[in-house]
Amino acid sequence: MGQPKLFSIIDKAVYDYKMIEPGDKILIGASGGKDSTALVEYFANRAKRKDADFTFTAIHIETDFEACTMSPRLREQMREWNVETLNYFVDVENRVKEGFKMSCYWCSQQRRNELVHFAVNNGYNKIALGHHLDDILETLLMNMLRKGELSTMPPRLNYTKYPLSIIRPLCYADVNAIKEHAAQSGYISTTCTCMYQDNSGRKDARARLEALTKGDRRAKERMLDALRNINKEYLP
């Protein structure tokens, strides 16, 4: 029996961007959502291959908001996959300086910073995040329309400040492929429902992406291809 379709999609991204290399020590950001859970399952599957020459650990960054915790059932599932899952607490709320308000974006930045520091301090050379194709294209639209900037989350980002790379193995997978895989695998994911969550900008970008592509995966793939096929002669 062949591997799941989603894993084949991830394999191509891993190959194209050299996301997994011999000797890698990879830290996976596991939020408990369907995207990062699918990513953890992929790594657990890939680690069983004969040529596997890497190690990985999943880490859940927990905050002082109860809504952002990983369910016990999901932790049990990861144990069944023989995945080591760490829990790292970040006291986000008490970091807010006087005169500033808590926000979903600020909280996510704090969690990302802690993820980077943990990776560097514990000898990891790569961090794997669960951003998928839709996330990348939504960010592209947000940056274009809000900042007048052509940029997004790259499949692989090599830090200059740290001996560390961010990899996004789901970059070729659209959200429907992940939903389908999650349903077939039968796992239960959790989503942060924090009261500070405000995704109005991303919801707007998601609606615009849907209007542009009609949900067509190939149209989304061509949008990503366009970012790698720049014809400067016909640009301002």
DSSP state of 55: E
Is the pLDDT at 219 greater than 90, yes or no?
yes
Burial class of residue 127 in the structure, from the number of CB atoms within 10 Å of its CB (0-12 exposed, 13-18 middle, 19+ buried): buried
Residue range 150-156: mean pLDDT, rounded:
97
Give residues with Cβ within 8 angstroms of 234, minimum separation 6.
none
Q: How far is it, in rounded angstroms, from Cα 197 to Cα 236?
A: 37
* pTM, 2 dp: 0.91
Does the annotation place 8 within a ligand binding site?
no
Phi, psi of 83 (to 5 degrees): -105, 125
Residue 35 confidence (pLDDT): 95
What domains lie within the chain, and their CATH numbers?
Answer: 5-134+146-196 (3.40.50.620)
Does the annotation place 135 within a ligand binding site?
yes
Is the pLDDT at 17 greater than 90, yes or no?
yes
198, amino acid identity: D
Residue 99 confidence (pLDDT): 60
69 or 143: which leads in pLDDT? 143
- Average pLDDT value over all residues in the chain: 89
Does the annotation place 30 within a ligand binding site?
yes
Residue range 120-142: mean pLDDT, rounded:
97
Does the annotation place 35 within a ligand binding site?
yes
